[in-house]
Structure 1
Amino acid sequence: MTPPARTQAAIELLDAIIAAAREGGAAADTLIQRYFATRRYAGSKDRRAVRELVYAAIRAAGERPGGGRAAMLLLADRDAGIAATFDGEGHGPPPIHPDEPKAKAGVVPIWLGKRLTASGIGRAEQEALVARAPLDLRVNTLLASPAEVAAETGGELIPGLPAGVRLPTGTDVSALAGRAEIQDAGSQVVTLAARARRGQNVIDLCAGAGGKSLALAAVMDNDGAIIATDTDRGRLSHLLPRAERAGASIIATRLLDPGHELSTLTDVRGRADTVLIDAPCSGSGTWRRNPEARWRLTPDRIERLVATQARLIGIGAALVRPGGALVFIVCSLLDEEGRGQVAAFLADRPDWAADPLDLPAGRAHGDGWRLDPAHDGTDGFFVARLLAPC
């Protein structure tokens, strides 16, 4: 592909990504994979170059652009080399007209920026939310040691994390299946709030594909019981094969009926030593990996997420034994999803108490703990550990 053809491919992909963000369609990574699956003529260098153009445009535009060309024109304003590819020759895009609309430069949509600022995330911290993310692994200590994996991959141990390794960007980790999982350092940090131990009964209420369940099984030395639950059959179905590869035999799964979750968990109600809730959220802490996600959010969507989170905390509280712990996690930096949720829960249940945290990264925030990319080099998270009355 010529440079102009790469620019045109990026424009076409951005059109699809912008439409998906507006209409709730597939993620950018998925759309990029589908695009090149039907264009076998594009070599690896072409695919990499187009992908870099696409993500550079996504990161540069805070507000959702009107179209892919407008997004690429924003980059062309900053880079004469990109501007030169708008030559109208062959498969390249038509020349630029001086009065053409361009995407608006920024970090996040204005309304979201105001909410982040109100949550204590200033301009510099907001800019870090859309920077490039590192490649972190959680080593499965049931099968390998972090030092071994670091030596094998050329990675570095992550200070303060018992199983964390940071790798050079682009490292092929396929050979590590079972021995290590891609998991951001921040996700590993907040999982430590569970303080899981051998012999415990743990419920991972929103397990998804099970990254945190696998981490807990390793910390527990595969001794105890973990029930991993979710309402998404597709995501949950990936967990048991992953657990088998990892040698994590203490994990069982249960598919829950949305809106009727407790009906499938009556036999373990009030019996869990720890319930971990990695709740659905805005994902504002993970925009480094999915920057187009900030174009998908609306005030109404956040309101619905906040309501879902509050309902899940109530379900989790019903499953905790007297004196047990409820660990609430969101990969969000918006206070209404984190600090505010916990404050509301404790106001409604004064017999519960927040258990102070002191984790390897982050800092205290309200009744919990917060990490963010600018200060910690991790994805953004809020976590709180809440103790049930005895």
Structure 2
Amino acid sequence: MTPAARTQAAIELLDEIIVAARDSGAAADTIVARYFANRRYAGSKDRRAVRELVYAAIRTLGERPRSGRAAMLALAAEDPALAETFDGVGHGPARIGDGESKAWPGVAPNWLLERLRASGLDEGEFPALIDRAPLDVRVNRARAEDVAIDGAVAIAGLPDGLRLPTGTDVDRLEGIPDGALEVQDAGSQIVTLAADARPGQRIVDLCAGAGGKTLALAAEMHGEGTILATDTDRNRLARLAPRAERAGVDGVETRLLNPGRESEMLADWAASADCVLIDAPCSGTGTWRRNPEARWRLSPERLDRLVATQQHVLAVGAELVRPGGAMVYIVCSLLDEEGAGQVAAFLADHAGWHGEPLRLPAGRAHGAGMRLTPAHDATDGFFVARLTRG
């Protein structure tokens, strides 16, 4: 592919991604993979170059652009070499017209920036929200006591956490036993520590998804005790059992729940869990480094629906905690309506519950819990609180 053809390919992909973001369609990675599956003539260098253009545009533009061309024009305005590829020759994009409008760079849509400011996030931290994320892993000691990886750096406060060099292909590392590494951001590992999981406990991972935090909890319990991992998403939950087997994890039960019937389907666990961990569905404002197109998908209406879902899962989780037990609430969001505000509302409505001080290896106190941010902690953004039932 010529440089101009690569630019046109990026424009076409961005057009599809913009529509998908507006209509809650396929993720950008899926769209890119499908695009090249139908264009076998594109070599690996072409695919890499086009992908880099696409994601450069997504990271650069906080507001969802009106078109892929407007998005690429924003990049071209800062890159003369890219602007030259708008030559109208062959498969290249048409020449740039006099006064042709382009999309404007930004960290996020204005309404979201206002919400972040209202949540106490300093504007100096905004640029880090869309930086490229590092590659972190958790070492599974059940499969490997010692792991040697060139360029890996230990993560402070996480004896099993490693930060790998950018571009490392974890699946192709030599000399690493199968199941010895789980890709998991340092922030995700840190907030899971709030559960203080111990051998012999009964723990519910209420929104387990594919089980990243479930496996981390199991590692802390050393195979002693019981973890019930639940979710309402069949496809995500189905990935947990194979991961647990690969990691050599025992004592994990999975249970698919029907939305709206969670309490009924968890009646056998009522008031009996030592800890309920809730990694609640959220806006993902703390994970834009890994999923920058999420800024184009979020709307005030969708945020309101997520907040309502969080209130629901908190109520469900509270019914499962034994007297003296705890509920750990986690969101990968930096918005207070999903984090500190959500917990404050819960505590106001539930007598006998109180927030417990946390001592984690990163983060700062925020409301009744702690908040981690990319700029301050070099992790994804999280809010976590540990609530104890009296």
Same fold, TM-score > 0.5, yes or no = yes
Instruction: Quote the Cα distance in structure 2 between the aligned partners of 1:89 and 1:100.
Output: 19
Note the C-alpha offset of 1:154: 3.0
Letter of the 2:360 counterpart: L
Instruction: Quote the Cα distance in structure 1 between the aligned partners of 2:17 and 2:229.
Output: 32
The 5-angstrom pairing of residues 307-346 of structure 1 reads: 307-346=308-347
Matched with 1:179 is 180
Matched with 1:164 is 161
In structure 1, the residue corresponding to 2:77 is in which secondary structure?
helix
Letter of the 2:58 counterpart: I
Structure 1 residues 135-183: Cα deviation after superposition (integer angstroms, max 9, x where no partner): 11111121123xx33x234311111112111011110111454111111
Note the C-alpha offset of 1:335: 0.2
The 5-angstrom pairing of residues 213-362 of structure 1 reads: 213-362=214-363
Letter of the 1:185 counterpart: A
In structure 1, the residue corresponding to 2:48 is in which secondary structure?
helix
Instruction: Quote the Cα distance in structure 2 between the aligned partners of 1:153 and 1:222.
Output: 30
Structure 1 residues 275-326: Cα deviation after superposition (integer angstroms, max 9, x where no partner): 0000000000000011010111111111111011011001000000110010
In structure 2, the residue corresponding to 1:240 is in which secondary structure?
helix
Letter of the 1:303 counterpart: D
Is 2:91 the counterpart of 1:71?
A: no
Instruction: Quote the Cα distance in structure 1 between the aligned partners of 2:75 and 2:132.
Output: 17
Letter of the 2:162 counterpart: V
Instruction: Quote the Cα distance in structure 1 between the aligned partners of 2:33 and 2:126.
Output: 28
List structure 1 runs of 4+ shifted beyond 6 angstroms.
none
Note the C-alpha offset of 1:360: 0.7
Note the C-alpha offset of 1:79: 0.6
In structure 2, the residue corresponding to 1:291 is in which secondary structure?
coil
Instruction: Quote the Cα distance in structure 2 between the aligned partners of 1:336 and 1:41.
Output: 48
Matched with 1:203 is 204
In structure 2, the residue corresponding to 1:138 is in which secondary structure?
strand
Letter of the 1:294 counterpart: R
Note the C-alpha offset of 1:373: 0.4
In structure 2, the residue corresponding to 1:136 is in which secondary structure?
strand
In structure 1, the residue corresponding to 2:149 is in which secondary structure?
helix
Aligned-pair RMSD on alpha carbons? Answer: 1.0
Is 2:37 the counterpart of 1:37?
A: yes
Instruction: Quote the Cα distance in structure 2 between the aligned partners of 1:90 and 1:250.
Output: 60
Instruction: Quote the Cα distance in structure 1 between the aligned partners of 2:191 and 2:179.
Output: 22
Letter of the 2:60 counterpart: A
Instruction: Quote the Cα distance in structure 2 between the aligned partners of 1:123 and 1:65.
Output: 23
Instruction: Quote the Cα distance in structure 2 between the aligned partners of 1:110 and 1:292.
Output: 15
Is 2:95 the counterpart of 1:91?
A: no
In structure 2, the residue corresponding to 1:54 is in which secondary structure?
helix
Is 2:106 the counterpart of 1:106?
A: yes
Letter of the 2:200 counterpart: G
In structure 1, the residue corresponding to 2:124 is in which secondary structure?
helix
Letter of the 1:203 counterpart: V
Structure 1 residues 182-231: Cα deviation after superposition (integer angstroms, max 9, x where no partner): 11010001000000001111100000000000111111111111000000
Instruction: Quote the Cα distance in structure 2 between the aligned partners of 1:98 and 1:335.
Output: 44
Note the C-alpha offset of 1:60: 0.9
In structure 2, the residue corresponding to 1:129 is in which secondary structure?
helix
Note the C-alpha offset of 1:383: 0.3
In structure 2, the residue corresponding to 1:93 is in which secondary structure?
coil
Instruction: Quote the Cα distance in structure 1 between the aligned partners of 2:348 and 2:273.
Output: 23
Instruction: Quote the Cα distance in structure 2 between the aligned partners of 1:270 and 1:40.
Output: 56
Note the C-alpha offset of 1:122: 2.5
Instruction: Quote the Cα distance in structure 2 between the aligned partners of 1:303 and 1:357.
Output: 28
Q: TM-score, normalised by structure 2?
A: 0.97
Letter of the 1:232 counterpart: D
Instruction: Quote the Cα distance in structure 2 between the aligned partners of 1:29 and 1:290.
Output: 10
Instruction: Quote the Cα distance in structure 1 between the aligned partners of 2:54 and 2:124.
Output: 23
Letter of the 1:304 counterpart: R
User: CA 1:346–1:120 in 2, change beyond 3 Å: closer, same or farther?
Assistant: same
Long gaps (5+) in structure 1: none
Number of positions where the alignment pairs a residue of Structure 1 with one of Structure 2: 386
Matched with 1:6 is 6
The 5-angstrom pairing of residues 113-124 of structure 1 reads: 113-124=113-124
Note the C-alpha offset of 1:64: 0.6
The 5-angstrom pairing of residues 146-161 of structure 1 reads: 148-149=146-147, 151-161=148-158
